[in-house]
Amino acid sequence: MVVLLSWLLVVATAVQASGLVPRTSPSDPLASCHGYKASNIKTTGSSLTADLSLAGAPCNVYGDDLKSLTLEVVYETDDRIHVKIQDPADSVYQVPASVLPRPSPSSGIKSKDANIQFKYVASPFSFSITRAKTGEVLFDTSAASIVFETQYLRLRTSLPANPNLYGLGEHSDPFRLNTTNYIRTLWSQDAYAIPNGANLYGNHPVYFEHRTTGTHGVFFLNSNGMDIKISNTNGKDQYLEYNTLGGILDFYFMAGPTPLAVSQQYAEVVGLPVMMPYWGFGFHNCRYGYQDAFAVAEAVYNYSKAGIPLETMWTDIDYMDLRKVSLDSWNGKYQLMLQVFSLDPDRFPLKMMQELNHYLHSHNQKQILMVDPAVAYQPYPPYQRGAQDGIFLRRDNGSNWLGVVWPGVTVFLDWFHTGTQNYWNNEFSIFFSPKNGVDIDGLWIDMNEPSNFPCNFPCDNPYASAVGFPPEPPALRTPPRPLPGFPCDFQPPGTKCSGSKKRHDIEAPVALPMLQVTERQAPGKELGLPGRDLLYPKYAIHNAAAYTYADNAAGGGISNHTVNTDVIHQNGLAMYDTHNLFGTMMSTASRYAMMNRRSAERPIIITRSTFAGAGTKVGHWLGDNVSDWPHYQWSIRTMMAFASIYQVPMVGSDVCGYADNTTEQLCARWATLGAFSPFYRDHNGYPPNIPQEFYQWPSVTAAAKKVIDIRYRLLDYIYTALYQQTVDGTPLVNPMFYLYPTDANTFGLELQYFYGPSLLVSPVTEENATSVGVYFPKDIFYDWFTHAAVQGKGSTIQISNLDITDIPLHYRGGVIVPQRVKSAMTTTELRKQDFEIIIPLGSDGKASGQLYLDDGLSLVQKGTTLVKFAFDGKTFSMKGNYGFNAGVKVARIVFLGFKSTPSGCSVDGQKGSGNHNSKTGDYTVTVGKSLSKDFTVVVNH
């Protein structure tokens, strides 16, 4: 054990204090790997560097051992250490900074003052991260030798027994991770039904570990396919082990010491989430399988008729052109093709789509369409323009790499190509033109793992795999019923109606001849080592898309149902390394394309595949779930993971479920639960799945109207919470242990959570149940509906007689909640409603909170309002900056928890009007003050 010459980075014998996993085991093929030894160690006030060389003969198990490595340790803040182990030549692939920008170290950091410390052993080399004040070991790699090979990396850390681990997504497994014989695989796949125990759509190699002594976080910045193994030996020698197919060992350690602090620190690394438009928090509706534009319009009409607020109408791929095209010049056949950036001229003609768009906008509603990354391989303008620009992925011989998605045979965009952004901007400008296209308000992007789901590896005969794709179109029809208020094109012949606007065509430039393939960019730094087997790595990750797990090695399974991993981008990077970045790169390009067409507005983009940092650009829906009770339950923990750990706060599931048929009871319950997720959308699958719009059943209609009323009244409260997360990473959705980190009973709770900093949401989660057990920590809570106080005692209380339209909601004492006095049918109308300020008294009789207001849409705000609320037991104050004129008032303040009747009150020194409800403890003060200046309310006891 070597002690550094400086006091900067000390080595403590405590590193070896706890029982560690044996460095080898008889069945371990890596048992002969000796690891590395450190030399040439240099330190500064905030950093350490060293050379690492093999400590013995190479083991060359899953590739060739790199004989020499470099170590760099940087104390970037008092709470963050960056540890990076890589090759000296800088040739091994690293996640490009263009995809995930790295945080800059703070100036003036001194390692001796940091809250966590880096310590090391020179030979065989290992390192640990410890808490500075207590010496507690948070991460310790002496558990096994470090392996760094051309196509395999292994690093293991020891853990305490029965650790509380969270993260390592995307997955649908328990929120608190299993710690025995558990493998988390990170490799994007089109994961229909989001099964447990499988790799899903996105990749977030970060975990939080929560202990009674504090919380810390570990982010492994690596986009290669990986297995993260968590296990122990008969309950002892707990460990977590990274096994990756490449890249480097690039770690960020975050000190916490609270869950909220770790969330904030992680946001500093991957980037703060982006602010969403206010209307994005409205209710959204979609389904795959709307027969035509009339069916979409009829859903809009039916929501209005039922009195259910509908903010945004979405359309799945149904709108795309599905036609029989001649491919004589290609392969001499005719084939149906579903074309991105196209409209079905019979079922979704441009004129009707524009009229629907105008109707929605005239009613203060919005429209969103889906766009997929796979472009139909046929001679139509979007393909021809892309081929001319050379921006599709190619094979080694220069031909397009062909796969199969919904359109049939397709090509895939190369997001690393220097011309792709211009192409994407241009296609959006043409197809979504306000004048000649469909003027969408937001965007939905899908299939961007990338999915190649009908084509089995090696996908060398895509035309054979494309049989049945695209699916046959639905029957043509004329409008079967009148739709009051819609233009003539939506009415049966002979119906009295208003005139329709004249037909437009989507203008497209004349297609130019395809250019000849040019040579790829020459190899350069961090592009990946030469000579690797990019299709058949020797280590088999547990990618569920392969036929068997073993096929992920010799069987090419990592390429199954996706783009082959030996495809090389224009800049020389390999899909082997960048596969997990495809979705987040599409997200970035799509955000820029949306801003290119509406440069002054915040775009809302909802994606399926994500990587670390995706929240800086987009939101996420949780994929193709199933209409059953387990998926209803899983929707809570998956939402919590993205919002509170991965820093993707605009997140939600397909309410009522996507696959299979929902039931009235399930849909009613899910409607109430979904109202308290940031992203709230009802979406289901293709017929014969039954329709599940909320108006289909009276009970679901009642449930939806009830909870949307609450959601909309609380919309500014959650909008403020999102604003705060965009400022410092404080989550807008909180697991129970985030707010009660010392209460061990909360560590494993995943069926109740906090929506914002105050509202405790505790849904009924079992079929046919009319009651639910709600855990209340030792704190004061208040029923949202009755305002009755509930004194938590760190135990579960049974709440009974819950109809399928009911969901238990409770204010947390001590957190002030601003809410609108009443709801509205659209968020535009909602913004005209006055506020009431709810003050649930904390156990100490005090409370605080805040409210953020802006115009809800602009990328650059002309002015914003941020006010702070405080109540010290006698005086309430509202103080802030009032740069945005909301044009509304604070109508009243409602204090919750006054056991005795106050003797009176004053508003800004003037005698006020107050009313006390002795039964509930409410004390309501009429205020009537404009939300444009400070004021105070004094309550006299």
Q: What is the 3-state secondary structure (H, E, C) of 772-798?
A: EEEEECCCEEEECCCCCEEECCCEEEE
Helix or strand holding residue 216 (H, E): strand 214-220
Active site residue 716: no
Provide DSSP, 64-93: PBPSEEEEEEEEEETTEEEEEEE-TTS-S-
Burial class for 838, CB neighbours closer than 10 Å (0-12, 13-18, 19+): buried
Given a contact cutoff of 8 angstroms between Cβ atoms, the answer to whether 781 and 760 are in contact is: yes
Considering the candidates 209, 298, 321, 449, report the single residue annotated as catalytic: 449
Pair type for strands 847-853 and 164-169: unpaired
Query: Rounded to whole angstroms, how far apart are CA atoms 581 and 598?
Result: 26
Residues 6+ apart with CB under 8 A from 191: 198, 199, 200, 201, 544, 623, 624
**Would you state the structure tokens that stand for residue 740, as one six-digit string?**
């009660």
SS3 label, residue 365 = coil
Burial string for 284-293 (b: 16+ CB within 10 Å, else e) reads: bbbbbbbbbb
Active site residue 783: no
DSSP label at 547?
Answer: S
**Would you state the structure tokens that stand for residue 880, as one six-digit string?**
């802030």
Active site residue 446: yes
Q: What is the number of residues in the chain? A: 941
Residue 805 Cα distances to 340, 808, 826, angstroms: 40, 10, 22
Beta strands (DSSP E) in 588-717 are 605-607, 619-621, 651-652, 654-655, 681-684
Q: What is the 3-state secondary structure (H, E, C) of 379-413?
A: CCHHHHHHHHHCCECECCCCCECCEEECCEEEEEE
Among residues 268, 154, 155, which one has the least CA distance to residue 217?
268
Tokens 């859903």 -> residue: 299
Burial class for 760, CB neighbours closer than 10 Å (0-12, 13-18, 19+): buried
Given a contact cutoff of 8 angstroms between Cβ atoms, the answer to whether 218 and 251 are in contact is: yes
Edge-to-edge strand ranges of the sheet holding 865-871: 847-853, 865-871, 875-882, 935-940, 904-907, 910-911
Given a contact cutoff of 8 angstroms between Cβ atoms, the answer to whether 867 and 878 are in contact is: yes
Q: H-type helices in 235-292, by residue range?
A: 259-270
Given a contact cutoff of 8 angstroms between Cβ atoms, the answer to whether 314 and 368 are in contact is: yes
Residues facing residue 412 across a β-bridge: 374
Q: Pseudo-torsion of CA 591, 594, 599, 602, nearest 10°?
A: -60
Given a contact cutoff of 8 angstroms between Cβ atoms, the answer to whether 809 and 761 are in contact is: yes
Considering the candidates 149, 624, 716, 779, report the single residue annotated as catalytic: 624
Given a contact cutoff of 8 angstroms between Cβ atoms, the answer to whether 541 and 183 are in contact is: no
Long-range Cβ contact pairs of 424-428 (< 8 A, separation 24 or more): 424/589, 424/590, 424/592, 424/593, 425/592, 425/593, 425/596, 426/385, 427/341, 427/382, 427/385, 427/593, 428/593, 428/594, 428/596, 428/597
Burial class for 329, CB neighbours closer than 10 Å (0-12, 13-18, 19+): exposed
Phi, psi of 299 (to 5 degrees): -65, -40
Beta strands (DSSP E) in 674-816 are 681-684, 733-735, 753-755, 759-761, 772-776, 780-783, 789-791, 795-799, 809-812
Q: H-type helices in 285-380, by residue range?
A: 293-306, 350-362
Query: Rounded to whole angstroms, how far apart are CA atoms 778 and 797?
Result: 12
Task: Pick left, alpha or beta for residue 340 (phi over 0 → left; psi -120 to 50 → alpha; otherwise beta).
Answer: beta
Given a contact cutoff of 8 angstroms between Cβ atoms, the answer to whether 369 and 319 are in contact is: yes
Catalytic residue positions, numbered: 446, 449, 624
